[in-house]
């Protein structure tokens, strides 16, 4: 049986042999790299905050060291659960997933359009502003300016910065797409366009209607606010992150495995059914609430059809992976395992949405940790694995420089894999047990009983999220190591930089060898 | 199926699909639920539901900023959907002191500047917390140290909403009465900050001790079953 990973990684020779693709990669090198680096930074921040938040949901007797966390949370408003949870999820969604998503979109749009990217300066400005917006937004939440609207917690003074950044980015994207070479159409472009079009609609409507001054919010609108927020939250997962991720999968899986997507003729049906049905998963947050029952029922029927695109996409991507394995005997390389895992996570996430669209299951799981399981699946299970795989693929091609250690990739892969599987298992099953208690018809059962039932799952979840955090940390260190080594080799040609960084200066050696040759 | 080569039709179709979802989740709810007025009682100037105090509205901001809604819901589902009524979360007292147990309706929320329906019940539902707690002092104690309210509580303590200050002259009226383990050093007292006061005013304002018929509540009228 072949090993999943190679035991060594190649140091050089990643630049595409197609000179056109090599030129395209070179043209987007810096914006994409800055996106990935800042995204990985937010991933580390967000995961740490998530571990912290998760550790506050249960007694810390098992981990005495966490007593520090509790002392902080008790005495400083900055570190209370409600603020840390919000910053953790926002750092992961806007800082990690969306920033990495922007980088992926830049690279993929340029590649699928076969057009070298113009104006990298405007892209860089967009990326810098985006990160600024995220940083200011997270600080605002810590300081108590959170709007309290799920996934739109960033205060108004941060969200307009994100707006400017996205506007700049989309100008670039439209220009690149319109400048595409004729005949280069790829299903990945369709997914990218949906994501790039959905985000401004969602974020524009969400932030103007729901955040900002109370006086300017929909006045007296009551529960309509929560309907719009549900539409926004699920829109971010199903119309922004999922299309970005699927675009990458549809492009990279054939590239890496060397075979075309199986059942590719279904890709269009899957595409249209996904964008029609998937956003209706928003109705999962409205079942039983103070809303007209008929509307909720119609929504449940529409969101229940999500199994069609999930099955089509899942069958096609996963069977491609198995066929490739059958033909080549092994996955070959560090990229493919992550992409396969992302495809599987997509199917599991789709299945969890499918479960929530069944009314009785929804009633049971509606207010339990099953919803956190769903969030973790989209962010950590599905999207993170795509970004990992894509970064492992793209960064060597941008730098023409290989990853440093096969062992570190392996550690990263297995901690992420078992971390996310255990988190899903704990939160999913824990949610079921918690739901059984919360919805118990015995009047003697109270919220306290439900807390007691869920405690062990919460403790387990903290431990499993810590495992993910270890993997993410290893990945971040590996990326940093690779960039440092690359930088060290680069500076050897420049005397001043070499002296500052204490590297041997190779200019002399090159000059002297020339003399010898002469 | 329109392929991406035909860019205009492709984009128009995407736009139409997004508009359909937008219509369902934003426009339609806004038309049907966005302008519910309170109900005026016949022959009097009383309205149902009534607006809460300005201090309670200020408390909404503390509730939002400290993320209470990540663990606490404010919605009671009907008996046909979940066991919220059995947990006692739909129970409040009306003006005559009689129990009113019912689900929540869209019209219950019309006065709230920001609505916090919530999606997670790590803690209890707060729709009627103002009916379960009538005394601000008990809520202050709970916020200061949840274990005083319930030994199994998993709520984080919110001591940052209080200040420990030196007693000058008489003890302050709203100083917390705490057991020895939590008590401040002799000569000191723990008093709530302005933030804590508005948060507690908000919590105490959360009670639905009035009757709404389904047709008044912003929901389509469903005839009651004949046997009752």
**pLDDT tens digits along A406-441:** 899 999 999 999 999 999 999 999 999 999 999 999
CB B26 within 8 A of CB A209: yes
Checking if the pLDDT of A490 tops 50, the result is yes
Dihedral of alpha carbons A190, A260, A338, A430, sign:
positive
| Complex ipTM | 0.92
Q: Please tell me the predicted confidence (pLDDT) of residue B2.
A: 60
- CB hemisphere CA count around A96 (13 angstroms): 29
The yes-or-no verdict on residue A219 having pLDDT over 70 is: no
On the question of pLDDT at B30 being above 70, the answer is: yes
Say whether B164 sits in a helix, a strand or coil: strand
Residue A81 is nearest to which of B34, B156, B218, comparing CB atoms?
A: B156
B38 with B112: CB under 8 angstroms? no
CB B223 within 8 A of CB B106: no
pLDDT at residue number B228? 38
Cα separation, A238 vs A273, whole angstroms? 12
pLDDT band (50, 70, 90) for residue A40: very high
Whether pLDDT at A87 is above 50: yes
Residue in A446, A447, A458 to test binding to B, most B beta-carbons within 10 Å: A447
Interface A–B counts its CB contacts (< 8 A) at 237
pLDDT of residue A508 exceeding 60, the answer is: no
Of B64, B81, B161, the CB nearest to A146: B64
Give the closest of B28, B66, B218 to A80, CB-based. Answer: B66
What is the phi/psi pair of residue A62, to 5°? -70, -25
Which residues in B lie closer than 8 A to residue A361 (C-beta atoms)? Answer: none
Residue A405 confidence (pLDDT) above 70: yes
Identify the three-state secondary structure at position B91. strand
Q: What pLDDT is stored for residue B226 in this prediction?
A: 43
Peptide bond into A378 cis (omega under 30): no
What span, in angstroms and rounded, lies between the C-alpha atoms of B199 and B193?
10
Query: Residue B195's closest CA among A77, A336, A162?
Result: A77
pLDDT tens figures, A230-274: 999 999 999 999 999 999 999 999 888 888 888 888 889 999 999
Confirm if A303 and A277 have CB atoms less than 8 A apart.
yes
User: Which range, of A15-19, A317-321, B103-107, B206-210, averages the lowest pLDDT?
Assistant: A15-19
- Please say whether the dihedral angle defined by the alpha carbons of residues A408, A409, A410 and A416, taken in this order, is positive or negative: positive
pLDDT tens-place string over residues A142-174:
999 999 999 999 998 999 999 999 999 999 998
Quick one: pLDDT band at residue A31, thresholds 50, 70, 90? Answer: very high
Provide the mean pLDDT of chain A.
88
- pLDDT band at A334, cuts 50/70/90? confident
Instruction: Answer yes or no: is pLDDT of A477 > 60.
Output: yes
| pLDDT level of residue B53 (50, 70, 90 thresholds) | confident
Which helix (H) or strand (E) covers residue B12, if one does? helix B7-22
A147 touching B (Cβ < 8 Å):
yes
At residue A481, the pLDDT reads 93
Mean pLDDT of A99-122: 90
pLDDT at residue B223 above 50? Answer: no
pLDDT at A257: 84
Give CA separation, A162 vs A125, A199, A202, B90, in Å: 12, 11, 13, 41
Q: Which pLDDT score is estimated for B7?
A: 80
Q: Which residue has the higher pLDDT, A62 or A396?
A: A396
Query: Torsion-angle region of residue A137: left (phi > 0), alpha (psi -120 to 50) or beta?
Result: alpha
Report the pLDDT value the prediction gives residue A280, as an integer from 0 to 100. Answer: 95
Phi first, then psi: give them for residue B29, nearest 5 degrees: -60, -35
Is residue A214 predicted with pLDDT exceeding 80? Answer: no
- The pLDDT of residue A177 is above 90: no
B161-185: average pLDDT: 88
Instruction: Say what the pLDDT of residue A212 is.
Output: 66
Tokens of A336: 């493919």
Helices A447-491 and A406-438: crossing angle in degrees, nearest 10, is 160
Nearest to residue A463, comparing CAs of A79, A89, A55, A66?
A: A55
A12, pLDDT greater than 80:
no
Band of the pLDDT at B222, cuts 50, 70, 90?
A: very low
What pLDDT sits at residue B227? 39
Angle among Cα A365, A366, A368 to the nearest 5 degrees reads 65
Mean pLDDT computed over B23-45: 83
> From the CB of residue A160, how many other CB atoms can be counted at a distance below 10 Å?
13
Taking CB atoms and an 8 Å cutoff, what residues of chain B touch A445?
A: 87
Look at residue A178 in the predicted model and tell me its pLDDT.
84
**Mean pLDDT score, A431-455:** 92
Element (H, E) at B93: strand B91-93
Name the percent of chain B lying above pLDDT 90: 43
Of B67, B117, B161, Cβ closest to residue A226:
B117
Asked if the model's pLDDT at residue B217 lies above 70, the reply is: no
Q: Would the pTM of this model clear 0.90, i.e. be above it? A: yes
- Give B-chain residues touching A208 at CB under 8 angstroms: none
Average pLDDT over residues A301-330: 89
Q: Which residues pair with B188 in a beta bridge?
A: B166
Q: Which residues of B touch A185 (CB under 8 A)?
A: 3-5
The CB-based long-range contact list for A106-110 (8 Å cut-off, 24+ gap) reads A106/A28, A106/A31, A106/A32, A106/A35, A106/A172, A106/A173, A107/A25, A107/A28, A107/A32, A107/A394, A108/A188, A108/A192, A108/A247, A108/A248, A108/A251, A109/A173, A109/A176, A109/A177, A109/A189, A109/A192, A110/A24, A110/A27, A110/A28, A110/A176
**Confidence category of residue B168, pLDDT binned at 50, 70, 90:** confident
Assess A375–B contact: CB distance below 8 Å, yes or no.
no
From CA A371, how far away is CA A284, in angstroms rounded? Answer: 10
The reply to whether A74 touches chain B by the CB within 8 Å rule is yes
The answer to whether residue B163 neighbours chain A at the CB level (below 8 Å) is no
| A470 has pLDDT over 80 | yes
Cβ atoms of residues B209 and B52 within 8 Å: no
Interface probe, candidates B52, B122, B128, chain A, greatest A C-beta count within 10 A: B122
Mapped onto helix, strand or coil, the DSSP state of residue B190 is strand
Within 8 A of A58 by CB-CB distance, chain B residues are 154
């Amino acid at each position: 049986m072949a090993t999943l990973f190679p035991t060594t990684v190649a140091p050089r020779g990643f630049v595409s042999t197609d000179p056109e693709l090599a030129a395209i990669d070179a043209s987007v090198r810096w914006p994409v790299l800055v996106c990935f680096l800042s995204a990985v930074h937010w991933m580390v921040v967000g995961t740490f905050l998530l571990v912290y938040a998760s550790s506050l949901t249960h007694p810390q007797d098992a981990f005495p060291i966490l007593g520090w966390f509790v002392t902080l949370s008790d005495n400083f408003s900055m570190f209370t659960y409600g603020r840390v949870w919000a910053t953790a999820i926002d750092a992961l969604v806007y800082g990690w997933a969306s920033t990495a998503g922007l980088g992926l979109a830049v690279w993929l749009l340029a590649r699928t359009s076969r057009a070298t990217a113009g104006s990298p300066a405007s892209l860089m400005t967009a990326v810098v502003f985006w990160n600024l917006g995220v940083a200011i937004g997270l600080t605002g939440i810590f300081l108590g300016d959170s709007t309290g609207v799920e996934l739109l917690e960033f205060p108004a003074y941060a969200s307009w910065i994100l707006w400017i950044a996205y506007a700049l980015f989309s100008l670039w994207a439209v220009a690149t797409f319109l400048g595409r070479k004729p005949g280069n159409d790829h299903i990945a472009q369709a997914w990218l366009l949906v994501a790039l079009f959905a985000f401004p609609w969602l974020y524009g409507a969400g932030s103007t209607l729901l955040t900002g001054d109370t006086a300017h919010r929909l006045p007296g609108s009551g529960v309509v606010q929560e309907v719009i927020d549900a539409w926004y939250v699920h829109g971010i997962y199903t119309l922004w992150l999922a299309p970005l991720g699927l675009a990458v999968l549809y492009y990279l899986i054939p590239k890496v495995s060397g075979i075309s997507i199986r059942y590719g003729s279904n890709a269009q049906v899957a595409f249209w059914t996904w964008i029609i049905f998937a956003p209706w998963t928003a109705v999962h947050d409205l079942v039983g609430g103070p809303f007209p029952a008929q509307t909720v029922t119609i929504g449940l029927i529409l969101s229940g059809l999500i199994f069609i695109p999930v099955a089509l996409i899942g069958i096609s991507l996963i069977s491609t992976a198995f066929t490739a394995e059958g033909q080549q005997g092994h996955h070959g390389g560090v990229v493919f395992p992550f992409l396969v895992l992302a495809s599987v996570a997509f199917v599991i996430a789709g299945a969890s949405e499918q479960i929530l669209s069944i009314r009785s299951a929804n009633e049971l799981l509606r207010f339990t940790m099953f919803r956190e399981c769903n969030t973790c699946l989209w962010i950590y299970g599905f999207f993170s694995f795509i970004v990992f795989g894509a970064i492992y693929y793209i960064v060597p091609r941008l730098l023409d420089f290989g990853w440093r250690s096969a062992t570190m990739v392996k550690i990263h892969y297995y901690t992420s894999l078992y971390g996310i599987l255990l988190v899903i298992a704990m939160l999913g099953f824990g949610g079921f047990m918690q739901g059984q208690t919360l919805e118990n018809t015995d009047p003697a059962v109270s919220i306290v009983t439900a807390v007691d039932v869920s405690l062990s799952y919460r403790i387990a979840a903290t431990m499993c999220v810590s495992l993910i955090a270890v993997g993410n940390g290893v990945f971040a260190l590996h990326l940093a190591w690779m960039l440092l080594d690359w930088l060290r080799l680069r500076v050897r040609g420049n005397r001043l930089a070499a002296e500052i960084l204490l590297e041997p200066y190779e200019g002399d050696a090159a000059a002297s060898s020339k003399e010898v040759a002469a | 199926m329109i392929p991406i080569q035909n860019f205009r039709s492709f984009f128009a179709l995407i736009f139409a699909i997004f508009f359909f979802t937008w219509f369902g989740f934003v426009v339609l709810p806004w038309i049907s639920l966005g302008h519910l007025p309170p109900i005026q009682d016949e022959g009097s100037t009383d309205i149902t539901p009534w607006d809460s105090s300005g201090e309670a509205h200020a408390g909404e901001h503390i509730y939002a900023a400290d993320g209470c809604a990540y663990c606490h819901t404010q919605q009671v589902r009907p008996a046909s959907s979940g066991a919220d009524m059995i947990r006692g979360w739909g129970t409040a007292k009306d003006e005559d002191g009689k129990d009113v147990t019912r689900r929540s309706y869209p019209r219950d929320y019309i006065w709230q500047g920001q609505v916090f329906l919530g999606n997670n019940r790590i803690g209890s539902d707060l729709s009627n917390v103002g009916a379960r707690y009538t005394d601000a002092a008990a809520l202050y104690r709970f916020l200061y140290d949840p274990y005083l309210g319930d030994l199994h509580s998993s709520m984080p303590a919110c001591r940052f909403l209080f200040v420990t200050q030196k007693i000058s002259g008489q003890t302050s009226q709203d100083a917390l009465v705490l057991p020895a383990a939590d008590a401040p050093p002799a000569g000191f007292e723990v008093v709530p900050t302005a933030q804590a006061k508005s948060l507690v005013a908000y919590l105490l304002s959360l009670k639905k001790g009035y009757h709404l018929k389904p047709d008044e509540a912003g929901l389509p009228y469903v005839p009651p079953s004949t046997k009752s």
